[in-house]
C-alpha cells in the first residue's frame, strides 16, 4: 500500500538521539516509515507505535522489540503502563494526515476527491464531518471555522452552510464545495477549501485537545535527557508545541521557581524550526508546510 512517505525522516531520527537499548514511542505510526528507521537503530531497546486508524495495521512491522497499538495517542500513558513502561527515552509525533487517508476518496479528507463527508481518523467512531456540517448550530460552526481554520469570513461561511442544509443535507465533499465555492474569488478557492476541510477535520477528531494531552503526558513520560520530536503542519499545532518547549506549558506563560528563576522543562535542540528542503518538497508536496521542533527534557519537575 502506498500509505505515506515519511516527512523529515533523517532529521527526526537524528533528533531523537537514539540509544540502542532505549524505549521509544512513535505516536503517529501511519505507514511506519519513521518507526522502521527507529527500530533499525535499536539493539535490545523497545518501540511502541500508536495509530487510532486501524487501517495502519497493514503496515505492522512484526519485528522483535516493536508493538503497534491501535489507539489515540492521547492515551499513550495508560497503554504504556499496561506494558510495564513508566518512562521513555524519546517520543516522535508526525501530526500530518497520511497520504493514504487523503488519497482514499471514501475517507472524505480531500477537497479533490468525491466522497462521503467523513474525515474520521478512527473509523470506528460514530461521529463524522457530516454530523458537524449538518447538525452544528450556526454560531458553533462559525467558531470552528474561525478558530481551527483561521477563516476571516467564518460567520458568512457558517450562515451559507446552515441556509443550504435546510434545503438538502450536505452529504459529500462535492456537496460542501458546491455550497461554499462562491464565497471567495476563484484564485483563492483551493486554499479556502483546504482551510474549511482542516477546521472540520480538527473538530471531528478533537485534534487540538488530543495534542494538548499528548504534550502534557510526554512531559511526564520523558526521562531527563530524553527527546521530544514533533512535526506540525499548521500554526495552531505549532503554537502549542512552541509553548510547551519554550515555556513548559500549553498557554505559553512564564513559570518561575521560588527564587524567581524561569523553570525550563525542556532545552531546545533547534532554536529555529526545521523545515523540509526544496528537494524533499519537490519529491513530496505534502511536506511543504511541515515544521519540526526538537527538545530535550530537563530534570525540572
The domain locations on the chain are 9-99+208-297, 110-205
Instruction: Using alpha carbons, list the distances in angstroms from residue 67 to 7, 70, 117, 197, 209.
Output: 22, 10, 32, 32, 25
Q: What is the pLDDT along the chain (301 residues), one digit of tens a residue?
A: 445 689 999 999 999 999 999 999 999 999 999 999 999 999 999 999 999 999 999 999 999 999 999 999 999 999 999 999 999 999 999 998 888 888 899 999 999 999 999 999 999 999 999 999 999 999 999 999 999 999 999 999 999 999 999 999 999 999 999 999 999 999 999 999 999 999 999 999 999 999 999 999 999 999 999 999 999 999 999 999 999 999 988 999 988 887 878 788 999 999 899 999 999 999 988 899 999 999 999 998 8
Q: Are 37 and 13 spatial neighbours (Cβ–Cβ below 8 Å)?
A: yes
- The pTM for the full model equals 0.94
Which of these, 13, 10, 16, lies nearest to 297 by C-alpha position? 16
Q: 144-148: which pairs have CB atoms within 8 A and are 24 or more residues apart?
A: 144/199, 144/200, 144/202, 144/203, 145/195, 145/196, 145/199, 147/199, 147/236, 148/198, 148/199, 148/202, 148/203, 148/208, 148/236
**Domain 110-205 in CATH: superfamily?**
Putative methyltransferase TM0872, insert domain (1.10.150.170)
The predicted pLDDT at position 10 comes to 96
Which of these, 237, 247, 245, 231, lies nearest to 291 by C-alpha position? 231
The predicted pLDDT at position 3 comes to 58
Q: Do domains 9-99+208-297 and 110-205 have the same CATH topology?
A: no
The predicted pLDDT at position 28 comes to 96
Q: Whole-angstrom Cα distance, residue 180 to residue 189?
A: 9
Pairing of strands 222-232, 291-297: antiparallel
What architecture does CATH give domain 9-99+208-297?
3-Layer(aba) Sandwich (3.40)
The predicted pLDDT at position 5 comes to 80
The predicted pLDDT at position 4 comes to 62
Helix count and strand count (H, E) for the chain: 12, 7
Amino acid at each position: 500500500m502506498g500509505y505515506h512517505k515519511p516527512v523529515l525522516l533523517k532529521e527526526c531520527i537524528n533528533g531523537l538521539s537514539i540509544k540502542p537499548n532505549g524505549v521509544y514511542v512513535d505516536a503517529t505510526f501511519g505507514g511506519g516509515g519513521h518507526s522502521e528507521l527507529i527500530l533499525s537503530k535499536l539493539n535490545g531497546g523497545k518501540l511502541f507505535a500508536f495509530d487510532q486508524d486501524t487501517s495502519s495495521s497493514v503496515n505492522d512491522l512484526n519485528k522483535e522489540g516493536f508493538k503497534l497499538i491501535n489507539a489515540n495517542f492521547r492515551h499513550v500513558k495508560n497503554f504504556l503502563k499496561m506494558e510495564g513502561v513508566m518512562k521513555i527515552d524519546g517520543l516522535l509525533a508526525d501530526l500530518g494526515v497520511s497520504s493514504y487517508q487523503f488519497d482514499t476518496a471514501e475517507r472524505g479528507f480531500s477537497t479533490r476527491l468525491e466522497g462521503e463527508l467523513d474525515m474520521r481518523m478512527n473509523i470506528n467512531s460514530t461521529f463524522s464531518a457530516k454530523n458537524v456540517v449538518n447538525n452544528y448550530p450556526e454560531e458553533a460552526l462559525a467558531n470552528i471555522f474561525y478558530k481551527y481554520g483561521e477563516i476571516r469570513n467564518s460567520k458568512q461561511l457558517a450562515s451559507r452552510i446552515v441556509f443550504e442544509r435546510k434545503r438538502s443535507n450536505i452529504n459529500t465533499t462535492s456537496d460542501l464545495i458546491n455550497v461554499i465555492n462562491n464565497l471567495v474569488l476563484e484564485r483563492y478557492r483551493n486554499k479556502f477549501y483546504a482551510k474549511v476541510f482542516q477546521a472540520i477535520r480538527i473538530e471531528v477528531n478533537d485534534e487540538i485537545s488530543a495534542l494538548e494531552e499528548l504534550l502534557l503526558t510526554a512531559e511526564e513520560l520523558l526521562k531527563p535527557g530524553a527527546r521530544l520530536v514533533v512535526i506540525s503542519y499548521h500554526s495552531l499545532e505549532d503554537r502549542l508545541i512552541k509553548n510547551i518547549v519554550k515555556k513548559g506549558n500549553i498557554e505559553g506563560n512564564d513559570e518561575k521557581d521560588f527564587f524567581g528563576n524561569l523553570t525550563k522543562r525542556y532545552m531546545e535542540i533547534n532554536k529555529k524550526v526545521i523545515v523540509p528542503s526544496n528537494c524533499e518538497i519537490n519529491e513530496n508536496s505534502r511536506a511543504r508546510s511541515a515544521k519540526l521542533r526538537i527538545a530535550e527534557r530537563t530534570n525540572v519537575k
